[in-house]
Amino acid sequence: MSIWDAIILGIVEGLTEFLPVSSTGHLTIASKMLGLKIDDPAVTAFTAVIQFGAIAAVVLFLWKDISRYAVAWFRGLRNPEHRGEFDHRMGWFVIVGSLPICIVGFLAKDIISGPLRSLWWVAGSLIAWSFVMVAAERLGSKTRPLEKITLIDSIVMGVIQCLALIPGVSRSGATIAAGLFRGLDRVAATRMAFLLGIPALVGAAVFELKDALSGDVGIAPVLVGTIVSFIVGYASVAWLIRFVAKHSTEVFAFYRVLLGIVILILLMTSTITAT
């Protein structure tokens, strides 16, 4: 993998990690266009590790909230009278909601990095989940702010987040849709999706680090890709929070369907291969 490849993939990761369009799907497509073997363990590991940049971006953006939740969570552990505070409960919500994808991701690692790394899966998932996103926008009441979130909300969002292990579904798309179905407003669902993504992305990146540094990738492309994804990711996160405050996420669904159809046409005409 060249430094130029790493820069391009870092830009793609930063742009798409928190937008509901599937970063894994876009990274798979971009890797294919760059001539990389998309089911190679080192390549799939690289795309997981450069998520460190996107993680750092969202942590920096949400640092005030994250630090407040963390302090309140530890304070509640020491002093029972603080356990009813919203910030303490949010700490538990993020922890509990993050467990499903950590467990499923570990158990299904070989499937995720192997058979699912196919453009057929990417195209199908891009299209199929788009209908779920539209349904969530149209059926969800979108009346509850983040302060009204419950443990059940976090569990449901955490379980649905596991579907994002299928390339093309989108982790943020899955969790935001789940939040909307639960009645959260768009900003609340999006911020919770960001928070739930941090432990999941950290776990995936740490788990894949060894493979990413081996083979044909190496440390220099990993560092470059991570730095680029951080810079682009911060701008992407800031933009999405402002966007969902006033606009529907259906626009992303339409884009996903269009992209999925294009990939299917290219595959069916043998213009590109699936892996």
Exposure on the CB side of residue 31, measured as CA atoms within 13 A: 30
Q: Which of 11-20, 38-47, 144-153 has the lowest mean pLDDT?
A: 38-47
Q: Which pTM does this prediction carry?
A: 0.89
Give 153's contacts (C-beta < 8 A, 6+ positions apart): 93, 179, 182, 184, 192
Q: What is the DSSP string of 160-222?
A: HHGGGGSTTS-HHHHHHHHHHHTTB-HHHHHHHHHHHHHHHHHHHHHHHHHHHTSTTT-HHHH
Confidence band for 112, pLDDT divided at 50, 70 and 90: low
Highest average pLDDT, of 8-17, 25-34, 106-115, comes from 8-17
- Across-strand partners of 184? 144
SS3 60: helix
Residue 50 parent element (H or E): none
pLDDT digits (tens, 9 = 90+) for 138-197: 999 999 999 999 999 999 999 999 998 888 899 999 999 999 999 999 999 999 999 999
pLDDT at 214: 67
Q: What are the residue ranges spanned by the domains of the chain?
A: 3-269
The answer to whether 181 touches 139, Cβ cutoff 8 Å, is yes
Confidence band for 38, pLDDT divided at 50, 70 and 90: confident
- Across the chain, mean pLDDT equals 91
pLDDT digits (tens, 9 = 90+) for 208-255: 777 666 666 778 998 999 999 999 999 999 999 999 999 999 999 999
